[in-house]
Amino acid sequence: MNQHTSHHNNENWLLLLLLTFIWGSSYILIKNGLQSFTAVELASLRISITFFASLPFVYKAVKTIPRDKYTTVLQIGIFGSGAPAFLFAFSMTHSESAVNGILNSLSPLWTIVVGYFLFNVGISRLKIIGVLMGFAGAVVLVLGKSVGNLQVNVLYSFLPVVATFCYGMSTNITKQRMQNLHPLYSTALAMCMIGVPAFVLFLFSDAPQKIALGNVNGALASVATLSIAGTLLAWVLFYRLVQRTDALFAASVTYLIPIVAVAWGLWFGETLSAIQLGGMALILTGVYFTTGKK
C-alpha cells in the first residue's frame, strides 16, 4: 500500500473533514435513538446493524487478513467501536451532549499518552502544544453556549473519559500493527467479531418487540444511519487516515466535532457568540500544530 505520510496532502484533509461531519452529526442521532431505546438497546442495535452491513466484505477479509492479525483486529473492534458505543450511550442518558462533546476531545491526549507509554511513540513539543490548544478550544466552544446552565453528572461523565482512552488505544494499535491491512476489510472483520455477541444481546432485549410494534421508526432510522455512516463508513475512513498520516493527526478530528455541533445549532436558528468564535480559532490553530509542520 502506497503511504502518503504528509499531513498536508489534500486527500488527508478531505478524510479529516468527512470524518468531522459524520462524527459531528452522531450526537444528534444518538440523542434521537435514546428517545425510544435504552442505552443497551441502542448500542447493541447499532453494532448489530453495522455487523450485518459488514457481511458482504467478510469473505474477502478472511481471505486477505493474516490469521496472526485476528487478535489485533478484535482489539480494534472492542476499543474502537464496541466499548465506546455502550459508554457514550449510557453517558448521554444522564449527561448533556455538551459534556460529552468536551470529554470526547480528550482522545488526542489519550493518543499521546498511550502512544508514548505503551508503543514508544515520540512526541514533539509543538504537537503537545497543539493538543492542549485544541482541547482548550473545544472547552471554550462548548461552554460558550452552555455556561451557567451546564449540569454535570460526575459518575456518568467519567464514561466518555474511558471511551476516549479506548479511542487512544485503537488509534495507536491501528497505526502500529495494522499499517498494511485494507481499512474496509479490517473494519468488516472487526465488526463481525464484536457483532455476534452484540446481536445476541439485542435479541434478548426489548428492542425487537419495540421495532415489531412499529413505534420506533424515527429512532430506528437514526440508529441505522449512525450504524452505516457513523460506524462502518467512518471507521473505514478513520483507519485509512491513520495509515496515511499518524495517530495524533487522525485523532484531532475530535477537536473539530464540536464545530459541526455548533454548525447544526446555527442551522436550527441558534446564535454564535464571540467566545465560541474564539474557541473555533483555538481548535483550528491546535489542529494545525498537531500536523507537525515545522
Question: Tens digit of pLDDT for each residue in 190-204?
Answer: 999 999 999 999 999
Instruction: Answer yes or no: is 3 within a domain.
Output: no
Q: Are 15 and 237 in contact (CB under 8 A)?
A: yes
- Which one-letter amino acid corresponds to residue 236? V
Instruction: Answer yes or no: is 2 within a domain.
Output: no
For 122, the 3-state DSSP assignment is: coil
For 151, the 3-state DSSP assignment is: coil
Instruction: Answer yes or no: is 1 within a domain.
Output: no
Q: Which residues of the chain have pLDDT under 50?
A: 1-5, 294
Instruction: Answer yes or no: is 199 within a domain.
Output: yes
Q: Are 142 and 101 in contact (CB under 8 A)?
A: yes
Structural domains in the chain (count): 1
What are 250-282's pLDDT values in tens digits? 888 888 887 777 777 677 666 667 787 788 888
Instruction: Answer yes or no: is 5 within a domain.
Output: no
Q: Which cell goes with 286?
A: 491546535
Specify the pLDDT at position 151: 58
Query: Which spans in the chain are helix H?
Result: 10-24, 26-33, 39-64, 70-76, 83-94, 97-104, 107-119, 125-146, 154-177, 183-203, 207-213, 217-227, 234-244, 247-251, 253-267, 274-290
Q: How far apart are CA 248 and CA 273, in angstroms?
A: 29
Instruction: Answer yes or no: is 31 within a domain.
Output: yes
Instruction: Answer yes or no: is 4 within a domain.
Output: no
Q: Which domain holds residue 283?
A: 10-290
Q: How far apart are CA 237 and CA 23, in angstroms?
A: 11
